[in-house]
Amino acid sequence: MGYLSSRPLKTDWFGSLRPQLQTKRVNVYSACPVCRGAEETIVHALVTCPKVQVVWNRVGIGTGTPGSVGNIISDDIDNFFDWFVKIFNEENMANKLLMSALCWAIWDGRNEMVWRKKETSVESIVMSAKGYLDHWTSAQNSLIETSWTGLQSGDGAELWCPPMENSIKINVDAAMFSEANSYGIGLVARDRHSPLLEARTECFIGRVNPEVAEAISVREALSWIKNRNWPRVVVEIDCLTVVQALRSSIHMVSLFGQIINECKQLMLELGHVSVYFIKRSANVVAHNFARASHLYSGCIFGLEDVPTNLLPCLVTEFDG
């Protein structure tokens, strides 16, 4: 699976476990950092740690340990690979993929505890695993769909152009600020006659996949349209995954899927909004506003009070 091979190698992953360092006579404390109730072996960290078992139970994949869902393999699982292969062979395709993703998410959660002293909830481990999967699935899809047949007329613009008479165009984009543990969005509304009608910037604390942030930018644009009662609006975004998801009838259970559903609901209510995919080169202004969102969280700008550094790109794009 391309997804797995793109992650760090197993040797690094397992090699970093403390009991193994101890066999090499590196003296480190080896209690499980999550439950502190047992030695941290591979199988403990990923399967038998009581807190980890809750994660596996939550998605309906048993760990084979007493008290877990599904069949009990043995009272004492001592080898991670044996466990993985046994459960893997019993599960359907969706759960096979989820198993791999969950292992990574559990390991990430464990690292958050070790390096940042931050406890990760069962919900966020499961959510992050499902997020990985959606991301991976859509990456696979976009490989297949570089010549995506779902492209509509209005998609694929390389240069921004003003909307038709009597309609408004909103360009949206997201930016990730991983060092500040936050992400932001920029929404820019324009009509045919002015370089800027109104722009909004919003910054959120936390970490999400870029696709999730992009989907949030569409959702915020749609609620904005609803509040302002704007007739005839076109929304443009440079994230193909979001446009594909909006036009697809596939139901996704992840956070990304939930936001897409909210967008679909809003689009149904509004009735007069279309969302198009454009190239990044046609989305420079929204990109710049998204980048600036960490300085201007929760701001609304008009042409008269737009930050000076954002003015040039507005004028350039408007003049073509």
Query: CA 153, CA 187: separation in Å to the nearest integer?
Result: 22
Query: CA 224, CA 236: separation in Å to the nearest integer?
Result: 14
DSSP strands (E only) in 43-154: none
Query: C-beta of 112: minimal distance to Zn ion in Å?
Result: 14
Query: C-beta of 53: minimal distance to Zn ion in Å?
Result: 10
Query: C-beta of 44: minimal distance to Zn ion in Å?
Result: 6
Applying CB under 5 A, the residues found at the interface with Zn ion are: 32, 34-35, 49
User: Which tokens belong to 78?
Assistant: 């001592």
**Maximum separation of any 2 CA atoms in the chain, in Å:** 75
Q: Are 239 and 214 in contact (CB under 8 A)?
A: yes
Nearer to Zn ion, 45 or 221 (CB): 45
Nearer to Zn ion, 34 or 225 (CB): 34
DSSP string for residues in 106-137: HHHHHHHHHHH--PPPHHHHHHHHHHHHHHHH
Nearer to Zn ion, 35 or 313 (CB): 35
Q: Is the Cα torsion angle 240, 242, 246, 251 positive or negative in sign?
A: positive
User: Which tokens belong to 110?
Assistant: 């464990």
Query: C-beta of 36: minimal distance to Zn ion in Å?
Result: 7
Count other Cβ atoms within 10 Å, centred on residue 247.
14
Q: Which residues pair with 187 in a beta bridge?
A: 172, 200
Nearer to Zn ion, 49 or 225 (CB): 49
DSSP string for residues in 4-20: HHTSPPHHHHHHTSHHH
Nearer to Zn ion, 34 or 172 (CB): 34
Query: C-beta of 77: minimal distance to Zn ion in Å?
Result: 14
Q: Is the Cα torsion angle 256, 258, 259, 264 positive or negative in sign?
A: positive
Query: How does DSSP classify residue 46?
Result: I
Query: C-beta of 61: minimal distance to Zn ion in Å?
Result: 18
Query: C-beta of 1: minimal distance to Zn ion in Å?
Result: 27
User: Which tokens belong to 304?
Assistant: 């008269």
Query: C-beta of 28: minimal distance to Zn ion in Å?
Result: 16
Count other Cβ atoms within 10 Å, centred on residue 13.
15
- H or E stretch including 184? strand 182-190
Nearer to Zn ion, 49 or 314 (CB): 49
Place of tokens 């930018």: 217
Query: C-beta of 88: minimal distance to Zn ion in Å?
Result: 22
Nearer to Zn ion, 55 or 246 (CB): 55
**Degrees, nearest 5: CA angle 242-245-248:** 150
Nearer to Zn ion, 34 or 77 (CB): 34
Nearer to Zn ion, 45 or 278 (CB): 45
